[in-house]
Chain A
Amino acid sequence: MYGHDFPVPDDGPAGGLLDQVEAAEAALRAAAGRGRPGPEDGSTADTDPQDYFAALIDADQKIEPRDWMPEAYRKTLIRQIAQHAHSEIIGMQPEGNWISRAPSLKRKAILLAKVQDEAGHGLYLYAAAETLGVTRDELVEMLLSGRQKYSSIFNYPTLTWADVGAIGWLVDGAAIVNQVPLCRCSYGPYARAMIRVCKEESFHQRQGYEILYVLASGTPEQRTMAQDAVDRWWYPSLAMFGPPDGDSTHSQQSMAWKIKRFSNDELRQRFVDMCVQQAEVLGLRLPDPDLRWNESRQAYDYTQPDYAELMRVIAGDGPCNRQRITHRRRADADGAWVREAAAAYAAKRTAERTSDRATVLA
């Protein structure tokens, strides 16, 4: 359903990254084949749990829900996976904003499928978080009360149809660059969820790229719309990789635990280098006058995003923070009677089964 009657660099905008996802999947299988360190019967009774945890991480084996893990490791993962799940859910809003007005039936179908995928990603990420001993209800409650965050990028508005393209190309592109290394995350359920998510995200990026390609080679108005969207989404997308390495609070420990594999700045650079070539194919300009190839670094020099703005948006003062969370709270409140009814219905059925059984036994 994702037609591609347009030129795509290599085998797709995220082609090389998909290979890395495949490689991560193969590594996961290989690690399972090697078996875990320790006695063959799997008994770990004699081993100090802390040592065993460290040995698993060292051997690039996955930590599974039944394994002992440091409390801080558990908390870090819950925070990170939940934030990721919340981002999928809140991220449905800016794009969902254009479902009703998508300019062709084909675009409407692709966008519906994409937003549906995001709800699905949210669901399996919540399920991955639940393996760490927290419930989805608790996590949703923390989102609604503002105690847990979602990606700040979704606090920017989608003002034109081209924004749907820019979100696909830049925001999903940045998300993939961020997430591909997570396919090798030391926590098994998260790594496996990310492999699945990344495969679908690459379709999302492709559809965004395709939207922009068609606009950029369309009428003058469409072209202007496409350039305007790229102008507005470029720096917020760069900010998605988080603060510069020196200011990042969680990074070092996460690297040691192999939750995180590359620093914020490394990933940001990778994203910039990927986008430059793609922007050329699109015929759109990245809004950075200082963007140029650096021969000695073998990478592009670029202007950093405004991190003060990032901090303001994270703190709650972005263009759409209030709107996004109000929308989510309203949906939650409006649906309460439906969820209560479903629970009441299920309870009646359980009670009937119990009394049937009692009758049989009597």
Chain B
Amino acid sequence: MEYLLGLGDDALVAAQRLGEWVTVAPELEEDVALANIALDQLGAARLLLGYAGELEGAGRDEDALAYLRSDREYRNCLLVELPNGDFATTMAKLLLLSAYQLPLYAALSVGADERLAAIAGKARKEVAYHLDHASLWTVRLGDGTEESHRRMQAAVDELWPYTVELFAADPAAPVDPAGLRSAFLANVEPVLETATLDRPADGWGPDGGRAGLHTEHLSYLLAEMQVLHRAHPGARW
């Protein structure tokens, strides 16, 4: 259940951040693309949280889990809850997230849990597109103008430490994240190179997300997301 919450919360919080781009994207095509990616992540989140609620067996559905937990009960990684920043930051976040989610969902899609395997199989196809989209923009911005190169490099540098948490060992998990790092690097490093960007050095990274210890940003994100639902306890929508 905790593991499923981690997967579902990653997808939900990522969707919430991506949704913030709708109406402010750099071009119309990007409004469409970012909304599309947000929808994919939201769709995966609903399936994962719904399943988590069933396993718990306490009568909590996807909405109870999404709207009635506090930030201390959320299990998402810190990467997804960080503010959107500029378009380069958002694309760097999407690149790192999808480069991690792709091998993760691929492994889960052939795992022992059939229900989870089916969810992961669907999500894997979608995430392959997210990775493609983020890679294209990383290359365009990295190898675009001086300004876009500077912004893209700054974004990658700023976010790189947040990837450490993604691969913290968890031998009890259906897929141990520690085993995914090489596939992640194989997805990211060639993109950075084509984009003429420096791959940041590995080192310290903040963590705590999986244990409910988040950045200060998540509480605000949830406050906004949950305000209406919480104002009408028990109502149907």
Contact = CB atoms under 8 A, between A and B. Distances in A.
Interface stretch (B26-34, B74-82, B123-131, B164-172): B26-34
B236 A101 contact: no
Contacts, number: 137
Interface in A94-115: 96, 99-109, 112-113, 115
A214 interface: yes
A270 interface: no
Given A342-B140, A345-B139, A345-B140, A103 B228 contact: yes
A190 interface: no
A115 B22 CA distance: 8
B141 A341 contact: yes
A105 B62 contact: yes
A338 B29 CA distance: 13
A218 interface: yes
Given A92-B31, A100-B225, A105 B144 contact: no
A122 B46 CA distance: 29
A155 to B, nearest CB: 15
B196 to A, nearest CB: 11
A108 B27 contact: no
Given A100-B225, A103-B67, 17 more contacts: A92-B22, A99-B19, A100-B16, A100-B224, A101-B224, A105-B12, A105-B46, A112-B19, A112-B38, A112-B39, A116-B35, A123-B32, A222-B235, A338-B27, A338-B148, A339-B27, A340-B147
A331 B20 contact: no
Nearest to A219: B235
Contact of A345 (B15, B143, B235, B236): B143
Interface string A263-289: 000000000000000000000000000
Contact of A109 (B31, B42, B141): B42
A123 B33 CA distance: 13
A96 B22 CA distance: 7
Identify the interface centre among B32, B49, B67, B139: most chain A CB within 10 Å of its CB: B32
A96 B23 CA distance: 7
Given A101-B225, A218-B235, A218-B236, A109 B46 contact: yes
B39 A113 contact: yes
27 contacts: A100-B16, A100-B225, A103-B228, A103-B229, A103-B235, A106-B237, A108-B15, A109-B43, A112-B39, A112-B42, A113-B39, A115-B35, A119-B28, A119-B31, A119-B32, A120-B32, A161-B228, A211-B237, A221-B235, A327-B23, A335-B30, A335-B87, A337-B145, A338-B87, A338-B141, A341-B140, A342-B140
A116 B19 CA distance: 10
A332 to B, nearest CB: 9
Identify the interface centre among A107, A337, A339: most chain B CB within 10 Å of its CB: A337
Contacts of A101: 224-225, 227-228
B45 interface: yes
Contact of A219 (B42, B67, B232): B232
B198 interface: no
A330 interface: yes
A2 to B, nearest CB: 14
B163 to A, nearest CB: 24
B23 A93 contact: yes
Interface in A214-231: 214, 218-219, 221-222
Contacts of A109: 39, 42-43, 46
Interface residues of A, number: 46
B75 to A, nearest CB: 17
B63 interface: yes
Nearest to B225: A100
Interface of A: 89, 92-93, 96, 99-109, 112-113, 115-116, 119-120, 122-123, 126, 161, 211, 214, 218-219, 221-222, 327, 330-331, 334-342, 344-345, 348
Contact of B145 (A219, A331, A335, A344): A344
Contacts of A112: 19, 22, 35, 38-39, 42
A48 B99 CA distance: 62
Report whether over half of chain B's contact residues are helix, strand or loop; otherwise say mixed.
helix
B130 to A, nearest CB: 15
A108 B224 contact: no
* List of 9 A-B pairs having minimum Cβ-Cβ separation, nearest first: A335-B26, A341-B144, A341-B148, A338-B26, A116-B35, A103-B237, A104-B237, A331-B24, A345-B140
Interface string B198-237: 0000000000000000000000000011011100101111
Identify the interface centre among A330, A331, A334: most chain B CB within 10 Å of its CB: A331
A221 B49 CA distance: 28
B117 interface: no
B66 interface: yes
B29 to A, nearest CB: 7
B232 A341 contact: no
A92 B21 CA distance: 12
Identify the interface centre among B16, B42, B139: most chain A CB within 10 Å of its CB: B42
A213 to B, nearest CB: 11
Identify the interface centre among B22, B147, B227: most chain A CB within 10 Å of its CB: B22
